[in-house]
Amino acid sequence: MLFHSSIRKELSRSFGATLVVLVTIVMTMMLIRTLGLAARGSVNPSEVFLVMTYTVLGYMPTILSLCLFISIVGTLSRMYRDSEMVIWFSSGRGLAEFLRPLFGFAWPILVLIAVFALVGWPWANSQTQGMRERYERRSDIERVAPGEFRESAGRLRVFFIDKDAPDSATANNVFIQSIERNLQIITSARSGHMEDIDGKRYLLLRDGQRLERSLGAEGTKISEFDTYGAKVGGSGTDSANAAPVQARTTLTLLREPTRINLGELAWRIGMLLAGANFVLLALALSSVNPRVGRSGNYLFALFSFVFYYNLLNLGQNWVSSGKYGMGGFMLALHGCAFLVSLAWLMKRHYNWGLMSAFRVRRARKTNTA
């Protein structure tokens, strides 16, 4: 049908433009956030672009849902504003006739939302988590920049080195400050190098001095040494920490149906159901009065999206805490959203209203009289 193809083309143009704008905004925000993490030493500065890319990929289900919602609202609002909907209604077709072309346009996007939510989201989070863990497990000598005070991986010590050495495992003019057993310990040495002893990472210092000062009482102990070993980090063969729930695959969530896993699974499946409900909701609320500005319609649509999305995130916390079951929550949220959108759409399709019912009743009384 010519009308179906024309509306799908307009929806595609609107969706593409909205997607470019939103991805650009999200990438800019993620770049600023990632640069802040790199400045604090949580992310490798050389991997800033990769971390930003993985983060944007993780947010793709939300971005695609919002783009789909805005593109439908924008396209149908334009048709109302240009009186094209008047022609459509005058031909004897109702608003529900738009469901077929809208879902014909939306189904590939809904498939992408499902793929990104069920596969892309955990994969992107696992990649980001892996890069952070590798960066945290590097030696403390590699963490410290020349002439700067930096915390160790466990944030138990403060290091300062003059890293004027031929390789990354050695250092010159080492300074270490730590608090252990209610003692403030300050250690300085002319040189040091990294070495694995009994599966643990040590910094072996040479030609230095060690100062121990009690925090609760007076007294200072000063000692000199030729060789001294200080544990500065875990072994390179240490096993990685348990993956966070956002980085677990969907199959893992299904195999281990704990509360936290079910909460995460409800969010992933809920993104697909929310995307389908957004199509109905966009069709129902896209009516525009040509005499009124279109900004109000967009603001209401944006508020509806934010409200629905926040309920989805809030429900994830409820399921994870055991307050509600996964099935009951999904049925209550997405089922109610579907019924409300469908009822709203039917009301506008059949032009139901209190005033119309009152007029019909009044006309019947007049005819009877």
Give one DSSP letter per residue of 331-362, joined into a string. Answer: IIIIIHHHHHHHHHHHHHHTT--HHHHHHHHH
Q: Does residue 248 contact residue 261 with C-beta atoms inside 8 Å?
A: yes
Nearest to 95 by CA among 344, 302, 297, 339: 344
Tell me if 195 sits within 8 A of 228, measured CB to CB. no
pTM for the whole structure: 0.71
Largest Cα–Cα separation, the chain: 115
pLDDT bin (cut points 50, 70, 90) of residue 46 is confident
**Would you give the end-to-end CA distance of the chain in angstroms?**
48
102, 279 Cβ separation under 8 angstroms: yes
Asked whether the predicted pLDDT for residue 354 surpasses 60, the reply is: no
As given in the structure block, the two tokens for residue 115 are 């793929």
Beta-strand (E) ranges in the chain?
Answer: 150-151, 157-162, 170-180, 183-197, 200-214, 220-233
- Supply the Cα-derived Rg of the chain in whole angstroms: 31
Q: Which of 43-47, 51-55, 259-263, 270-274 has the lowest mean pLDDT?
A: 43-47
Greater confidence (189 vs 3) lies with 189
Least confident of 28-32, 99-103, 285-289: 285-289
Task: Note the helical H segments in 116-217.
Answer: 121-136, 140-143
pLDDT at 94 over 80: no
8 Å CB contact between 112 and 64: yes
Comparing 112-121, 159-168, 190-199, the range with the smallest average pLDDT is 159-168
Reply yes or no on whether the pLDDT at 51 is more than 90: no
